[in-house]
Structure 1
Amino acid sequence: MAPIDGRGLPITTSSGEAAALYREGVDLLLSAWPGAVETLRRAVEADPGFALAHAALARAHAVRAEPQDARRHIAQAVELAQVNGTERERSHVEALSLAIGGQGARALDRVLTHLDTWPRDVVIFGLPLGAFGLFAFSGMAGHDQARVDLCERHAAQFSDEDWWFLTYRGWSQAENGAVALGRDLAERGFALRPANANGAHAVSHAMFEEGSGAAAEAFIEDWLPSYDRSGVLHGHIAWHQALAALERGDAARALSIYDGYVQPAASTGLPINIVTDTVSFLWRMAAYGHGVPAELWRQAADYAEEKFPTPGQAFIDVHLGLAQAATGRTGLLQQRIDDTTRLVEAGTLAAGPVVPGMCRAALAFAEERYATCVAILEPLASEVLRIGGSGAQREVFHDTLLVALMRSGETEKARRLLDQRLHRRPSPRDSAWMRSLAA
């Protein structure tokens, strides 16, 4: 019998051991669980000519922000697939090669074409999904709906017991506003495979969107000890817990979680998560009226500038804008505004003018020019989606507008915006700034 992957698709390898290791390694990869690289490396050692094992190993290195290893293995996969790969395997490797090579638009086109023929090819199906997937970072405003459409188009191809598909279908639905459905799907997927950081993440997001912050805190408190701190999502899932504590007004608890799991010195996550989690948490703390030690801001800004010195990644650029504004690094922030403006004019920044605009708004907010901040942010509110990420991550910019409205004296506008937010996502009113609006 020909060897198959975990979803029944044929794979080209002469080694039963390599095939078994590949299936195990892909499941670890899809669940963001430690051991994926090591397991897939053993699959390659068992059959050095196994193109898909090299490709999956490349993807695993990319997920861990190890670009040199990712490029080396995807190059080997491309070469091997041309020699002994099937049509699906060649297409699979091509899609991954484009994604790892940073060619997002071409990769997305290739992925969607590939899935029309092989929708159960889950390594490829995962590329457009998630907060940092090809859809989210495409610059499109409708990426939440696009993920739902893709999942629903191919839902009939997956069983009700497929933990991976349930997880990402649920996350996509919850992010797009179908929160009850999304939570149900995500929880079903998680129940099938609790050793799944992506599953725990999806459940946490659904709870956040539902306004069930206390439930999210308790869920993460119970589950997180089972996830090794080396896991790439460990710090980020702890960030969700800290955010829930902060939202209910327990700043001391939130800061304790931040210190222990989220700050750069504590987290072993991806640099993009560490930057955006640290910056958005500290900005929220300050905006909600809590004191933020200057040293925490300095550490977060230093880390961000070291890891991402070059502009051009919209999600990073706007968070760096917050960090540089908060730390008074006005010259560096103005340079980033100028650089991203030039990228927009050249047509090479997919998210467009919202990026330099949000950086200008951050500077105005930090300098207490709240009316100016409002004038910049209000027209951009519907464009924030273009930077990518999740609703939980982007909400920091909507909260910035809300606080700026309050502090500029536009109380009625602030109340209307708060009502809209609470209609979309119920949340506690325990924070001081929310109490002042409710008064």
Structure 2
Amino acid sequence: MIASSFRDCQAWRAEGLPLSTSSNEACKMYDAILTQYVTWRNDETLGGIEGCISAVKSADPDFVMGHVISTGLELVGTGSSVLLNERLASAVKRTVELGQIQQDITTRERLHVRAMEHFSKGSFPKACDVWEEILVEHPTDLLALKFAHDGFFYLGAQTQMRDSVARVLPHWKPHMPLYSYLKGLYSFGLLETHFYDQAEKMAKEGLALTPEDAWCVHSVAHVHEMKAEVEKGLKFMESTEKDWAGCDMLACHNYWHWALYFIEKGEYDAALNIFDSQVSALNKASGAMLDTVDACSLLYRLELEGVCVKDCWRELQQLTEPHTDDHVLLFNDLHFLMSSLGAKESGGAAQSQRLLEGLWERANVPEENYQHQLAGSVGLPMCQALLEYDQGNYSRAVELLQPIRYRMSEIGGSDAQRDVFNLLLIHAAMKSGVTHHQKLARCLLVEREAAKPNSPLTDRLIQRAHVLTMPAI
């Protein structure tokens, strides 16, 4: 990134997105933060996002959009709870105060403050509504678009995530900064609503403009995963690795996708090698929630396939334990629980109990927090199913998961990420001593084969299910 290319006060005004500060440096650092957020890449020559946040606050301590973007990014990172982190709670309070006392800020900026406040309270649907309100009047406000994209992702609102980008695309022109990255955003919405061919085409257009766009790479990886195009996926990840490996905020997740292809093929050693050399190493370095849940998910899938990963769980559990009481996302909680169950013999049992008890407490008094409202009907049954499966109570795991299987999208994440819970239900049904559950497993596998033909993993599971339900001779 070239610091001189970042937009100053006049440039933002010219684009119809005036920022309420007289500091050109503050405007440029705001642009630098936004650019790194959208490109998934900390630029160390600028001090990364953290360095730019410090710089924007030094340039203008009362610049409201500087506070919106810095506090908003920590919130959407989901690695900290406002209820537990006093510094984050104070940052939210300060941003809201600035929005109230500064009479000359724009309506757009005031709405940004309101959306951030909603999100801080866990009211994700209201936050997304406000970001969408901004985009009606200001379709080129990339911060509103990206925050809305993340918010819809956490809600499992796949159609909204797609349409949010579709509505603004005609207003973007190729000369505009970060224009090509909208193709990746739109591609992701398309693939999550099962328009796989259109999604791949859109992502490839983005890569033709910006080969280092890790989010476009990520979209293509999803397409190959959802279509069971394993060899295409492996070749694509290998051929593009040099372009996206430097995107430190998304590289771990792309390696996770790479490992999924090996699990699909049944090449578990290759998947474990990616876990050890990339996913685990990058997760330790970043501590980012996306990286942490990827590590949990990968180990859990390997374990479902019969691979022993006990030593890996012990190490990972030490990273998830500090987040046991956060309860920011149900999606995160479920993955933390995977790690504590995996490490139950080395301190994980107490963490599992604490997580479940804490989530019950939040579910009983959810207030306006959407995740906590959802905990009782979806989140806790899914958590309990993980626990029951771990304890060998397979029929109970099936009884918990089957009634809510079409609601599991509400915990957020992508189809590919949530597939671990589909697999959990299938494995539980196959292992259940109840004949009806074993028949259910075969039905689920027929359904899976129809949605994702030619999947080696599905074929292996079908063979196992067939053996289980064969009549005794």
Normalization by structure 2: what TM-score? 0.80
1:323 aligns with 2:343: no
- For the residue of structure 2 that corresponds to 1:263, the secondary structure is helix
1:32 aligns with 2:59: no
Please tell me whether the aligned partners of residues 160 and 166 of structure 1 are also in contact (alpha carbons under 8 angstroms). Answer: no
Cα separation, 1, equivalents of 2:273 and 2:388: 29
Equivalent residue in structure 2 for 1:94, among 90, 114, 123: 114
1:271 aligns with 2:288: yes
Equivalence for 1:109: 129
- For the residue of structure 2 that corresponds to 1:4, the secondary structure is helix
Equivalence for 2:165: 151
Structure 1 residues 413 and 72: alpha-carbon distance in aligned structure 2, compared to 1, 3 A threshold:
closer
| Identity fraction in percent | 23
1:193-204 paired onto structure 2 within 5 Å: 193-204=210-221
Normalization by structure 1: what TM-score? 0.85
1:177-256 paired onto structure 2 within 5 Å: 177-227=194-244, 231-256=248-273
Q: Which moved more, 1:332-341 or 1:201-210?
A: 332-341
Equivalence for 1:120: 140
Deviation at 1:393, TM superposition (A): 1.0
Deviation at 1:49, TM superposition (A): 5.9
Amino acid at match of 1:433: L
Please tell me whether the aligned partners of residues 364 and 373 of structure 1 are also in contact (alpha carbons under 8 angstroms). Answer: yes
Equivalent residue in structure 1 for 2:419, among 391, 395, 398: 395
Cα separation, 2, equivalents of 1:102 and 1:241: 32
Cα separation, 1, equivalents of 2:133 and 2:440: 45
Amino acid at match of 1:383: R
Structure 1 residues 303 and 72: alpha-carbon distance in aligned structure 2, compared to 1, 3 A threshold:
same
Deviation at 1:313, TM superposition (A): 2.8
1:346 aligns with 2:359: no
Amino acid at match of 2:378: V
Deviation at 1:72, TM superposition (A): 4.1
Cα separation, 2, equivalents of 1:21 and 1:331: 44
Deviation at 1:45, TM superposition (A): 4.9
Q: What is the root-mean-square deviation of aligned Cα atoms in Å?
A: 3.3
Deviation at 1:25, TM superposition (A): 3.7
Deviation at 1:265, TM superposition (A): 7.1
Deviation at 1:375, TM superposition (A): 1.6
Please tell me whether the aligned partners of residues 324 and 351 of structure 2 are also in contact (alpha carbons under 8 angstroms). Answer: no
Deviation at 1:24, TM superposition (A): 4.2
Residues 114-166 of structure 1, C-alpha deviation per residue, up to 9 Å, x if partnerless? Answer: 2222222110111121xxx222334xxx6112222323333433347832221
Structure 1 residues 254 and 90: alpha-carbon distance in aligned structure 2, compared to 1, 3 A threshold:
same
Equivalence for 1:55: 68
Cα separation, 2, equivalents of 1:390 and 1:82: 39
Amino acid at match of 1:424: A
Structure 1 residues 59 and 203: alpha-carbon distance in aligned structure 2, compared to 1, 3 A threshold:
farther
Equivalence for 2:452: 425
Cα separation, 2, equivalents of 1:125 and 1:270: 25
1:362 aligns with 2:404: no
Structure 1 residues 413 and 399: alpha-carbon distance in aligned structure 2, compared to 1, 3 A threshold:
same
Please tell me whether the aligned partners of residues 167 and 189 of structure 1 are also in contact (alpha carbons under 8 angstroms). Answer: yes
Cα separation, 1, equivalents of 2:244 and 2:284: 13
Equivalence for 1:436: 464
Amino acid at match of 2:464: S
Deviation at 1:394, TM superposition (A): 0.6
Deviation at 1:240, TM superposition (A): 1.1
Amino acid at match of 2:339: A
- For the residue of structure 1 that corresponds to 2:10, the secondary structure is coil
Query: What are the ranges of 5 or more consecutive residues in structure 2 without an aligned counterpart?
Result: 1-8, 468-473
Q: Which moved more, 1:422-431 or 1:235-244?
A: 422-431
Structure 1 residues 403 and 117: alpha-carbon distance in aligned structure 2, compared to 1, 3 A threshold:
same
Q: Which moved more, 1:277-286 or 1:78-87?
A: 78-87
Cα separation, 2, equivalents of 1:2 and 1:77: 26
Deviation at 1:102, TM superposition (A): 4.8
